[in-house]
Amino acid sequence: MTILLTGGTGYIASHTAVTLLEAGHQVVLFDNLCNSQRDVVARIEQITGKAPVFVEGDIRDTQLLRTTLDQHGCDSVIHFAGLKAVGESVAKPILYYANNVQGTISLLQAMEAAGTRTLVFSSSATVYGEPKYLPFDESHPTGATNPYGRTKLHIEEMLKDVCASDSSWRVSCLRYFNPVGAHPSGLIGEDPQGIPNNLMPFVAKVATGELEAIGIFGSDYPTADGTGVRDYIHVMDLAEGHLAGLRFLRDHTGWHAFNLGTGQGYSVLDLVAAFERACGKQLQRKMLPRRPGDIASSYANSAKAESELGWRGTRSLDDMCQSTWKWQSSK
Ligand code: NAD
Ligand code: WQD
């Protein structure tokens, strides 16, 4: 298969590209480089020994997408491109709707014109909003609590409508929990610009000495140690989840949603302790008030992905921290 990866040089897409190339597929990476670096392309080649095609462009450029799909004979698309910072989406909702929702409409128009009807979409557990029960299964009511999350929900709804209108479309919405970790080579990983919003990259930068102390947002949650609990999923498990999502679509038309998580929740303190084991030093921490908008706990029921995709996240929290540390410390 030849697969177009929008947002192809980004964090999750670059790891997925490695998995797809190693499984014998061709990949075309399409990215405007607003949150990634061009040298990722060479690093993917260094890992796999195979050169991915790279096209620099914006997904709102429908014509360029159409030409790219045609020129490379892409039979499916994995749509990673998007802006993802929750706080920024609250401050700049128009930017988020324009990039994420308008960008997806442009992609769908290009796919329709090119006759490519198979799509895996990077959705998020954020579409579940406040938990009515845990673990989250795919039937849990949706209701995002910020503009970023609402772009994901709008896109999911749009994709449902497209599938309902034409039975030749095949769409998997993969609802990621908390992706972390890096490729075991240490050559690719998550590289946020500025001060990271998310826990793992923040902890990693404290370990390298770039930041002084880990701020822990809330120690009075109704969890075992009072800190927030999340379902961290290794990015290489996630990458394999995309391959499984594509394989599933070979035999299934219509719209489908799958949770990609391990089903295991870890607290902020659990993650910090695992990172200390990985880097071999104690990390300074300070307790801070809760971060507005955060929920106490989030973790997946991933039974559907296991039974229908034949996929399960197997890598441990220690693997996630060790690979992040290898990536950060070798940069
Ligand atoms: P990332 O920022 O590393 O990757 C996104 C890529 O998309 C970047 O390379 C960026 O340059 C590119 N991009 C953004 N807008 C574009 C546009 N208009 N045209 C072309 N390229 C564009 O982020 P990531 O963590 O790899 O996330 C990938 C996808 O997964 C996103 O859609 C994100 O919302 C979703 N997701 C991420 C997480 C997470 O915690 N990392 C969790 C759930 C869902
Ligand atoms: C994890 C835990 C924090 C930073 C976000 C998005 C979500 C999804 C994944 C895309 C929480 C605590 C964090 C810090 C801390 N992205 N924390 N100190 O909030 O679960 O999810 O990323 O779809 O939409 O909201 O992830 O890594 O920010 O936080 O104590 O400096 O770590 O309170 O309990 P979150 P996170």
For atom 26 of ligand 2, which residue has the closest CA? 198
CA–CA separation, 301 vs 191, rounded Å? 29
Contact at 8 Å (CB) between 54 and 10?
no
**3-class DSSP state of 165:** helix
Count of structural domains, the chain: 1
Residue 188 counted as domain residue: no
The closest ligand to the CA of 38 turns out to be: 1
Question: Which ligand neighbours the alpha carbon of 95 most closely?
Answer: 1
DSSP for 246-271, written as a single string: HHHHHS--EEEEEEES-S--EEHHHH
- Compute the distance between CA of residue 148 and CA of residue 93 in angstroms, rounded to an integer: 8
Containing 196, the helix (H) or strand (E) segment is none
In a domain, 17, yes or no: yes
Q: Residue 36 C-alpha to ligand 2 middle, in angstroms?
A: 20
Q: What is the pLDDT of residues 85-107, one digit of tens each?
A: 999 999 999 999 999 999 999 99
d(CA 296, CA 105) in angstroms, rounded, equals: 34
Quick check: CB of 9 below 6 Å from ligand 1?
yes
Amino acid in position 80:
F
User: Mean pLDDT for the chain?
Assistant: 97
Identify whether 280 is part of a domain. no
| Exposure b/e, 37-49, CB count within 10 A at least 16 = b | eeebbebbeebbe
Chain segment 37-53, per-residue pLDDT in tens: 999 999 999 999 999 99
pLDDT at 193 over 90: no
Residue 14 lies in a domain: yes
**Which residues are catalytically annotated?**
148
Q: Does residue 13 form part of some domain?
A: yes
- Answer yes or no: is 172 within a domain: yes
Residue 281, in any domain of the structure: no
When pLDDT is cut at 50, 70 and 90, the band that residue 191 belongs to is confident
Q: Look up the domain containing 121 and give its range.
A: 2-180+232-263+299-314
Q: Does residue 283 fall inside a structural domain?
A: no
pTM, whole model, 2 decimals? 0.98
- The response to whether residue 231 sits with its C-beta less than 6 Å from ligand 1 reads no
Q: Is residue 131 classed as helix, strand or coil in its secondary structure?
A: coil
Q: Nearest 5°: CA angle at 147, between 146 and 150?
A: 90
| Mean pLDDT to the nearest integer, 189-197 | 92
Question: Which CATH number characterizes residue 308's domain?
Answer: 3.40.50.720
Which residues are near ligand 2 (CB < 6 Å)?
84, 86, 124, 126, 178, 197-199, 202, 215-217, 228, 230, 268, 291, 294
